[in-house]
Structure 1
Amino acid sequence: MRHSIAVATNDKIFESEARSLAMSLGLVFLSLNVPIKFVTQYDYLILKTQDGIAIAKTGKGAPKPVCVDFTSGAADHRRRFGGGKGQDIAKAVGLNKRPGLSVLDATAGLGRDAFVLACLGCSVSLCERVNFVRAMLEDGLYRGTFYHEVADIVANMHLLDTDIKGVDSGSQFDVVYLDPMYPHMDKSSAAAKKEMAFFRDLVGQDLDADALLPHALRLAQYRVVVKRPKGAPFLNHAKPTYQLEGKSGRFDIYVLKSLDSLHAVR
């Protein structure tokens, strides 16, 4: 099902910026003069507000709008209390073997995992092919530069202007990280995060997810890490070198070269 979406603002100060954003995304601009719950002509609105760019579901009972925010909420909590290099994602990319890795997050989304890796000292390049999600991510990174707690972290997060297929074949990253959108599973419906519900509703599945792996293997120097739900098939039907199992999912690791070998020392 295709959902209707527009760019909107209820603040005259941001109307010019909102119009420019709508034009860049190829969407209609809507000057909002009623509460979101009363908007009926669009299913979703991309809001331009003083707090940044957010995605909001319209209609009665709609949840709070979602934006990319690295300064508070879940991202801030994970930065301070997430477990450092003991986290599964840190082990999966190989930070237990070598610090300061360069990582390409080729399915960046709202940037949550990329932010965790940047917190742990990685230099992270991000790809996001959905235009309005990319705009939200760019906005969140920009706003993060004004907060001293995370300014140095977001400075290590570099948003690319292409998807993984457009990354120069001469580029090399220590690790390429993939977390493609996977079909919603009933077992996790009660705990599904609202931003993931937005993604599934608006973006849909990554139907070409299998095609991501060959590109990742081409760009990675040491390993490719694929985040998968439990029970999900291997990406591109390729068996990984090994796996790390978590409570709700797993990491499939494709090792190309050992990070702790003599050849890996810089």
Structure 2
Amino acid sequence: MARFTGKHVFVTGGGTGIGLACARRIAEEGGSVTIAGRRESVLQEAAAALGSAADYIVCDVASDASVEAALAELQRRHGRLHLAVNAAGTGTVGSVLNGPVSEFTRVLDTNLTGVYRVMQHEARLMRESGGGSIVNISSIAGTHTHRWMTAYCVAKAGLNMLTRCAADDLGEFRIRVNAVAPGLVPTDLAAGLVANEETVAEYLRRMPLARLGTTDDIANTVAFLLSDDADWVTGMVLPADGGHHLRQGPDLLHQFRAYFPSA
């Protein structure tokens, strides 16, 4: 397949995990890719592995100046932008009672405000290109509570509504905006969860398809939404979670109480 021939994509969080898998899939299908993230060494290694169709730009989505500079550099190098995947994210542990406000705002600044920040610039470039497609990486936590993951859940719930609002705002410019909501996928961000056998078992018993996801599972779904195969699809938050959305969110207090033993 060559669904992305002649298309350029910008991928935040593109040096590892889901973002890197999405970048790889797009390159395999003929697209050119700019991956972005905070760690230059990680980006260098990832871009080299992706091959001649890829380059990288250092970008912190929690910084207005960094995002503005990165997208200006993207335009200077490539002229047009057709596709974007917003996969940069972070997490924390804490409930309403014990989670510091500073951690709550830090997570929102990357996972929600950071997406707004970068999507605004992406959309402006896509408007100049005559249209495009944006996919945001959400989570099962955007629709299902996860005890003591309050900041993360709130950020992803906000991202789901941001996706819908952006789709409504940008449709007149032929820019589609959708989101994918993964369940538990082994990545750097989820490493602490995946390493805990009891936690994995808790997730699996809530999935009709009782296996962990893979980054390629998510990349497949993202590629569909980016492509012309989904040309009449916008404003959707599509679960890719083994059916977890049909049941309940996980109870992870057995693992998280180690962070706040007296709470």
Band the TM-score falls in, shorter-chain normalisation: 0.3 to 0.5
What is the TM-score with the length of structure 2 in the denominator? 0.40
Query: Which protein has the bigger strand share?
Result: 1
Query: Which protein has the bigger helix share?
Result: 2
Structure number, greater radius of gyration: 1
